[in-house]
Amino acid sequence: MKRLLLGMLLVWPGMAFAQKTILVVTADAADYLLAAGGTIAGMIDAGATAHLIRVSNDEKESWDLAPEETAQRNRVECEEAGRILGIRDVVSLGYRAAELADVPFTTIRDRIIFYIRHYKPTILFIPNPYTEFERALDRYYTGRAAEDAWRAAAFENYQPPFAEVGLRPHLTPELYYYAQPVDPRRHEPESTATFVPQAKTIDITKTFQRKVKAAQALKTINYSMARRLKERLTSTGRILPLLDPLDESSVNRLVEVNVRGLAGSGTPAEELRYAGVEYRIPSKYLR
């Protein structure tokens, strides 16, 4: 495998992920897609099977729609975005958006443990709960619970009743933390690869347009974002020509501009943190 890290790009070779299973945990429909959608699509193209767990129901993310209709539309559109990326299925846990602070940490953790033991992933993607400048706190709570679920799913004394239906403890050997916008701390050199998840920059050139198309599939969320952006600009006497007029075509262009901005000014890429097969195992213990 071609491994180029810290400012350089990592590219997956053909069929490098055959027989591997990916489980993606996301707080909302858009987060994983904008932060890691290209990487996940690339792994799927290289042979992996992927499943998605969406924790909230995004019922607040709309314009002039009731929460119930918003939740229904966003669920359907989240599933369509996943289909475009190549994700096999989407499980929505149905928690109210922006209210995960009121849900017990262990409740979310244990539900994620259930799906880790069910799907038995070899690779897990979760929101990075340690990133800075993240105002969507659901992503923090989801990442924190998912990180603990990754660890706890391997211990049989966490949720023993799961074993009664065949869900035995499962150790997921590879973990990717994702976040957007870019966390500036990722550019700092690390002291050791053993105890600190390492920065990886993934080339998503081959999957970039699919990522854009998947992001554009979130029509309800995107229209809400565009309307709020336009109102915010109008209230301060500013104009964004891209949204004049505001219609499906201009919203899709706005989404593409946003995705391109997140991918960087050069080769389209995504920045992740990786805890791999050697994570927390000092080399002195290895043969």
| Domain chopping of the chain, boundaries | 21-203+270-278
Q: What is the predicted pLDDT for the residue at 2?
A: 35
Strand ranges across the sheet with 123-127: 89-95, 49-56, 21-26, 123-127, 174-178, 269-275, 198-203
Please state, for a pLDDT cut of 90, what percent of the chain lies above it: 76
Model confidence at 6, pLDDT cuts 50, 70, 90, reads very low
Q: Is 106 exposed, middle or buried (0-12, 13-18, 19+ CB in 10 A)?
A: middle
d(CA 21, CA 44): 9
Q: Is the pLDDT score of 169 beyond 80?
A: yes
Say if CB 100 and CB 137 are below 8 A apart.
Answer: yes
Whether the pLDDT of residue 1 is over 60: the answer is no
Helices in 94-154 by DSSP H: which ranges?
A: 105-119, 137-152
Cβ atoms < 10 Å from Cβ of 82: 26
User: What is the spatial distance between Cα 271 and Cα 148, in angstroms, rounded to a whole number?
Assistant: 22
Residue listed under structure tokens 């043969």: 287
CATH 3.40.50.10320, domain 21-203+270-278, yes or no: yes
Among 200, 261, 199, 218, CA closest to 39: 200
Express each pLDDT in 108-156 by its tens digit: 999 999 999 999 999 999 999 988 767 789 999 999 999 999 999 999 9
Average pLDDT, the chain: 90
Q: At residue 216, what are phi and psi to the nearest 5 degrees?
A: -70, -20
Contact between 230 and 245 (Cβ < 8 Å): no
9 has a pLDDT exceeding 50: yes
CB 53 within 8 A of CB 91: yes
| pLDDT (tens digit per residue) in 21-66 | 999 999 999 999 999 999 999 999 999 999 999 999 999 999 999 9
